[in-house]
Amino acid sequence: METDTITAISTPVGEGAIAIVRLSGPEAIPITAKLFKGKNLRKVESHTIHYGKIMDPQTNEVAEEVMVSVMRSPKTFTREDVVEINCHGGMVAVNRVLEIILGSGARLAEPGEFTKRAFLNGRIDLSQAEAVMDLIRAKTDKAMSVALKQMDGRLSGLIERLRQDLLETVAHVEVNIDYPEYDDVEEMSHDTMRKKTKEVHAEIENLLQVAKQGKILREGLATAIIGRPNVGKSSLMNTLVQENKAIVTEVPGTTRDIIEEYVNVRGVPLRLVDTAGIRETEDIVEKIGVERSRQVLKESDLILFVLNYNDVLTEEDEKLFKAIQGLDYIVIINKTDLDQKLDLARVKELAEGNPVVTTSLIEEAGVDELEKAISTTFFEGEIDTGDLTYVSNVRHIQLLKQAKQALEDAMEGLKLEMPLDIVQIDVTRTWEFLGEIIGDTASDSLIDQLFSQFCLGK
Amino acid sequence: MTYDAGHYDVIVVGAGHAGVEAGLAAAKMGAKTLMLTLNLDMIAFMPCNPSIGGPAKGIVVREIDALGGVMGKVIDKTYIQMRLLNTGKGPAVQALRAQADKPLYIKEMKNIIENEKNLTLRQGMVDSLIVEDGVCKGVITETHAAYRAETVIITTGTFMRGKVLMGDLEYESGPNNQRPTIKLSENLEELGLEITRFKTGTPPRVNSHTIDYSKTEIQPGDEKPQSFSYETTEYITDQIPCWLTYTNEFTHEIINENLSLSSMYSGMKRGTGPRYCPSIEDKIVRFNDKPHHQIFLEPEGRDTEEVYVQGLSTSLPESIQHGMVRSVKGLENAEIMRAGYAIEYDAIVPTQLWPTLETKNIPGLFTAGQINGTSGYEEAAAQGIMSGINAAAKVLGKDPVILDRSQAYIGVLIDDLVTKGTNEPYRLLTSRAEYRLLLRHDNADLRMTELGHQLGLISEERYAKFVEKYRLVEEEKKRLQKLVVKPSPEVNGILEEAGAAPLKEALKAYDLLKRPELSYDLLAPIIDAPELSNEVTDQVGIQIKYEGYIKKANEQVDRMLKMEDKKIPSDIDYDDIGGLATEAKEKLKKVRPLSVGQASRISGVNPADISILIVYIEQGNIARLAN
């Protein structure tokens, strides 16, 4: 039996829909009750739902109006005490509730962890163990790759720099310990350590501010829409965005501005890019050649390649296929409302197993299939993917907070004039938390740093 | 062809720092033990630096002693200088280091071994193992003696296919021109063990009479008596200093000009050397902006004039070594007595071992010490005692003994070796221990003595003393928790003198002791301190002062141990687990971790793999319950 309480957003996000924050574990009810203004949830019957407000304990303000379901062990999904907090949608509100809960003693669930607990507590049948393992694998891999892809390069760069700073400081303390007679470096002083921790602390606070505004994530996975002129690229974008921001016209090449749109397709955050560079397909492939256009396209996480059902496959189309070979792409055969001139068998052959969907964007046909194809490209199999959209952001914030707390412990130790080798324990923890954000937890780094920074030995 | 030379419970091959601890531990636990070594005059010989201990390593020596080993006792009897290092830092990183009298150390150790009942010491070169049905059953020597045994521990150090390198000179040899072990290494390879090749080196020794010490800085020992062993009561007061000097631009010029003559820089492919123990050539090449490097002159004993030139480890030709040595201040007229050299040797890839140090593929065969890819006398001794305990335990039908990472540096060392392996000779560093605040020099007895006593390695008398010590510690802590200190001129006078803020209201003595400026000794006059030994009051002081940090570390340990408690069935088939990543599967198949905790420390096994592993194991458990 697990002893800690986990939480996560357990519904896909959609504008206006109700989002649920779920808690499971021995502290699920006490943690919620502490934050809940309304009935005393500790005393309510099992399997009942209650209206009230989630309070932010730090500001004592109302964070969100909610409906809370209380379900006591063992008749629950995980067979532990479970609480579900229904929020009125909106990423900001639901994230805030989750953050407050994370600050009150629950831990962010790992991908697939609710299901894992359900299994470990005997709720899920033995025959389904295989499925549970597959789900953990898929969810974790995707969560990690989505998280990494979503992080802005500058931010990961900043975190890496902070980590390097901390690592050098830690290595300095370590060299003082392991090589006390090594006179090439001065003994690390409390003052230097104070200065260093203060600097890093300020940077982490900044990062937290940025993260809270939601800017730590790139706005979705970069998605390029390509295809010959007038195949329906802008219509596709419009359909996905459901707004008329791009100019739709029958004249080839009239999409003037570089347009970016953020859309959420079944839990997959996409940043649709329709840039001049990628728009003029004949330009990029012919002017800069297949190899270089591949470089441009490689920067995209997903390519939507639009073909015209009403036209034969041209040399250009074949070149584009070559340019996107090996990348993640979906072929969209548009204009099925018109007569077929396209050789579908040849398209399937060229697509090499990538999904091919047919649409008539004018008649709004085939859009469901397209969205399904997008979602399965990133999340294989039948997986509830909703939480992945923002789990990475919450995870980042949580880790940043833990890093900040560890650093504050170090600063407290410095204030108390604790020996530096003890203060350093908390500095190392800070370094580890920051490492988890960017997926780097190699424990040998310190020893590598030690021997590259200092000339040691007998 | 062979003759029957006898039957033993445990055979230890080698009598270096690992071998002696292994043999003594096994014998003391009641196993009939044979110790075979190439040369009876070289028992526990120190082929490199004449010192024992230092950060992390010194704590290991304390742990070995607290378990019932001998390294601490022998060095306490034979040191020429002793120092407590890192005294200005926290209690967790303080450690003892002693300069050893090398010949005397050998003499003392040999004597202990000769007088251990149950232990037979014999000179002999082991050529091969007796392996029957895949199980190790004994050894055969070059003199055709066949010794049969239940378990065999190989502790052959750097002797296996050892090769000495000095400039263009190279010859097969163990350290210090002893005979190398060739056939045994070949035999192990034939038996299917994976072998890697490492190298290490040693500096020249010079004659003390030819050193001008007036040009160097003196490095004396501590005046305060110290000891590694908890049983030592007599201290050596007549200490001999070491001396500090530096290389300079001339030294570096000589080395740079002759770099191509160094065995290690001649372009030949060589074994991997340790980064933390670089040759002087490595230092000059890798840190070419450093104008000088430290050189410590360390006497090799009281009755010898040989001085170890720490910092000048080299494989340059002898002809160049003279000039190099003489370019150093204070060594202008120094006469080299033995030239420095590098040595290459076979080591066993340590992931082939269980955490008991028994090989996975050949039951009954254990390996310990430098053969497992470590470096250092202390690391060797640590593995020695654990292999001895586990070999004897196996014969006597007792449970294996595996120390975890929160119990001892010994646990960190062995877990690192068998879980992660090593691609260079492995040295213990304090930074390898996650819970070093718990793995202190001062509490090694608290961590190890109970276990040592259970195993029969700690005498009743010593155990009673240990129990009494910690009874007094607890009693005094309780007393201080109840004792209220009120502000008074006397109290505040003492506080002010220590640079601490005066008391404004009454405070528990326990909490007062938490203030960083104050110590137990300082407060003694105002807390009615009873007659207690320093050992007890030190322990009280540390436990109270660092209580918060110790608590935090213990919480981390609890989380770690929860994962250690999740055992992996020995018959697990990783190929049957669909969800595991390919890399994780390969690593798990190789390391065969005993617990989920150990699995999680294998590089390349990520948290998702661990989750999947847990689900898989649980599935098996449920299935078993259902049946």
Q: In this complex, do A180 and B294 lie within 8 Å of one another by their Cβ atoms?
A: no
Neighbours of B218 (CB within 10 A): 9
B286 pLDDT tier (thresholds 50, 70, 90): confident
Angle between helices A113-120 and A129-150 (to 10 degrees): 160
Q: Which of B52, B422, B519, B611 to mutate to test the interface with A (most CBs of A within 10 A)?
A: B611
From chain B, the residues in CB contact with A419 under 8 A are 89-91, 93
pLDDT at A262: 62
**Residues A427 and A368 reside in one and the same domain:** no
Name which of A140, A177, A421 is nearest B608 (Cβ-Cβ). A140
Computed on alpha carbons and rounded to an integer, the radius of gyration of chain B in Å comes to 26
3-state SS assignment for residue A274: strand
Place of tokens 């007094």: B472
Mention every residue, 6+ apart, whose C-beta is less than 8 A from residue B455: B25, B29, B67, B68, B389, B393, B401
Q: What residues make up the domain containing A338? A: 220-379
The nearest CA of chain B is from the CA of A164 a distance in Å of 17
The nearest CA of chain B is from the CA of A305 a distance in Å of 32
Q: In this complex, do A122 and B622 lie within 8 Å of one another by their Cβ atoms?
A: yes
Name the more confident of B488 and B275: B488
Query: Which of A53, A78, A109 corresponds to the end of one domain?
Result: A109
H helix intervals, A179-232:
190-212
Computed on alpha carbons and rounded to an integer, the radius of gyration of chain A in Å comes to 26
pLDDT at A184: 76
**Residues A225 and A358 reside in one and the same domain:** yes
Question: How high does pLDDT run on average in chain B?
Answer: 94
C-alpha span between A406 and A432 (Å, rounded): 10
> Quick one: closest CA in A to B376, which residue?
A458
Mention every residue, 6+ apart, whose C-beta is less than 8 A from residue B428: B56, B57, B60, B376, B378, B379, B409, B412, B413
* Opening angle at CA B616, ends B611 and B622, nearest 5: 125
The torsion angles phi and psi of A344, rounded to 5 degrees, stand at -65, -35
C-alpha span between A247 and A72 (Å, rounded): 55
Q: How far is CA A254 from the centre of its chain?
A: 35
Which residues in chain A land under pLDDT 50?
A: 13-16, 215-219, 243-258, 275-286, 381-391
pLDDT at B215: 97
Name which of B437, B608, B623 is nearest A137 (Cβ-Cβ). B608
Mention every residue, 6+ apart, whose C-beta is less than 8 A from residue B375: B200, B274, B277, B425, B426, B427
HSE value, Cβ hemisphere, 13 Å, CA-based, for B59? 32
**Residues A292 and A359 reside in one and the same domain:** yes
Q: In this complex, do A110 and B611 lie within 8 Å of one another by their Cβ atoms?
A: yes
From chain A, the residues in CB contact with B623 under 8 A are 126
Burial of A68 (0-12, 13-18, 19+ CB in 10 A): buried
Q: Is there a domain that residue A147 lies in? A: yes
**Token pair of A107, please?**
């831990």
Q: Is there a domain that residue A235 lies in? A: yes
Number of domains in chain A: 3
From chain A, the residues in CB contact with B200 under 8 A are none
Q: Is there a domain that residue A386 lies in? A: no
**Token pair of B574, please?**
């990783």
**Token pair of B465, please?**
């003393």
Query: Which domain CATH number covers A185?
Result: 1.20.120.430
Q: Is there a domain that residue A149 lies in? A: yes
C-alpha span between A54 and A41 (Å, rounded): 12
Q: Is residue B601 pLDDT above 70, yes or no?
A: yes
Q: How far is CA A156 from the centre of its chain?
A: 13
Place of tokens 């938390």: A433
* Opening angle at CA B433, ends B427 and B439, nearest 5: 110
Name which of B274, B294, B310 is nearest A183 (Cβ-Cβ). B294
Query: Which of A60, A75, A109 corresponds to the end of one domain?
Result: A109
**Sheet with B169-172, edge to edge strand ranges:** B169-172, B163-166, B341-348, B195-202
Helix (H) or strand (E) holding B65: helix B57-67
Written in H, E and C, the secondary structure of A140-177 is: HHHHHHHHHHHECHHHHHHHHHHHHHHHHHHHHHHHHH
Amino acid type, A252: P
pLDDT at A253: 43
Query: Which of A109, A144, A166 corresponds to the end of one domain?
Result: A109
Place of tokens 């219509």: A235
Question: Which of B451, B465, B55, B27 lies closest to B230, judged by CA?
Answer: B465
Question: Which of B50, B32, B10, B8 lies closest to B117, judged by CA?
Answer: B32
**Residues A202 and A229 reside in one and the same domain:** no
**Residues A229 and A372 reside in one and the same domain:** yes
pLDDT at A279: 44
From chain B, the residues in CB contact with A458 under 8 A are 48-49, 203, 277, 310-311, 313
C-alpha span between B442 and B444 (Å, rounded): 6
**Residues A25 and A155 reside in one and the same domain:** no
pLDDT in tens, A91-148: 667 778 888 999 899 998 887 788 888 888 877 776 677 777 777 776 666 666 655 5
Name the more confident of B564 and A242: B564
Helix (H) or strand (E) holding B394: helix B377-396
- Rounded to whole angstroms, what are the CA distances from A308 to A279, A302, A336, B198, B572? 15, 20, 8, 65, 54
| pLDDT average, residue stretch B158-163 | 94
Q: In this complex, do A136 and B615 lie within 8 Å of one another by their Cβ atoms?
A: yes
Q: How many residues does chain A have?
A: 458
Mention every residue, 6+ apart, whose C-beta is less than 8 A from residue B279: B201, B262, B264, B273, B313, B314, B315, B342
pLDDT at A139: 65
Neighbours of B343 (CB within 10 A): 25
Residues pairing with B12 in the sheet: B35, B153
Contact by Cβ (8 Å): B325, B316: no
The torsion angles phi and psi of B531, rounded to 5 degrees, stand at -70, 105
Q: Is residue B60 pLDDT above 80, yes or no?
A: yes
C-alpha span between B386 and B392 (Å, rounded): 10
Torsion-angle region of residue B267: left (phi > 0), alpha (psi -120 to 50) or beta? left
Place of tokens 């003489």: B326
**Residues A20 and A69 reside in one and the same domain:** yes
In terms of DSSP bridges, do strands B195-202 and A302-308 run parallel, antiparallel, or are they unpaired? unpaired
C-alpha span between A364 and A359 (Å, rounded): 7
B579 pLDDT tier (thresholds 50, 70, 90): confident
Query: Which domain CATH number covers A305?
Result: 3.40.50.300
**Residues A44 and A157 reside in one and the same domain:** no
Q: Is residue B189 pLDDT above 60, yes or no?
A: yes
**Residues A199 and A224 reside in one and the same domain:** no
Q: In this complex, do A110 and B607 lie within 8 Å of one another by their Cβ atoms?
A: yes
| pLDDT average, residue stretch B493-517 | 90
Q: In this complex, do B283 and A455 lie within 8 Å of one another by their Cβ atoms?
A: yes
In terms of DSSP bridges, do strands B242-246 and B294-299 run parallel, antiparallel, or are they unpaired? antiparallel
DSSP B85: E
Q: In this complex, do A174 and B92 lie within 8 Å of one another by their Cβ atoms?
A: no
B516-554 exposure pattern, b = at least 16 Cβ within 10 A, e = fewer: eebbbebbeebbebeebeeebbbbbbbbbbbeebbebbe
Q: In this complex, do A174 and B311 lie within 8 Å of one another by their Cβ atoms?
A: no
Helix (H) or strand (E) holding B550: helix B547-565
pLDDT at B273: 73
Name which of A111, A130, A177 is nearest B55 (Cβ-Cβ). A177
**Residues A280 and A322 reside in one and the same domain:** yes
- Rounded to whole angstroms, what are the CA distances from B535 to B540, B541, B542? 9, 10, 11
Name the more confident of A156 and B231: B231
> Quick one: closest CA in B to A124, which residue?
B619
Q: Is there a domain that residue A195 lies in? A: yes
Q: Is there a domain that residue A458 lies in? A: no
Q: Is there a domain that residue A121 lies in? A: no
pLDDT at A95: 77
Q: In this complex, do B577 and A178 lie within 8 Å of one another by their Cβ atoms?
A: no
Place of tokens 């700690």: B458
pTM over 0.80: yes
Query: Which domain CATH number covers A14?
Result: 3.30.1360.120
- Rounded to whole angstroms, what are the CA distances from B8 to A45, A201, B30, B125, B207? 70, 63, 11, 17, 45
**Residues A191 and A227 reside in one and the same domain:** no
C-alpha span between B136 and B133 (Å, rounded): 8
- How many CB pairs below 8 Å do chains A and B form together? 133
Contact by Cβ (8 Å): B160, B181: yes
**Sheet with A356-358, edge to edge strand ranges:** A259-265, A268-274, A221-226, A302-308, A329-334, A356-358
pLDDT at A389: 40
Name which of A137, A418, A458 is nearest B311 (Cβ-Cβ). A458
Q: Is there a domain that residue A271 lies in? A: yes
| pLDDT average, residue stretch B84-99 | 94
pLDDT at B142: 97
**Residues A420 and A375 reside in one and the same domain:** no
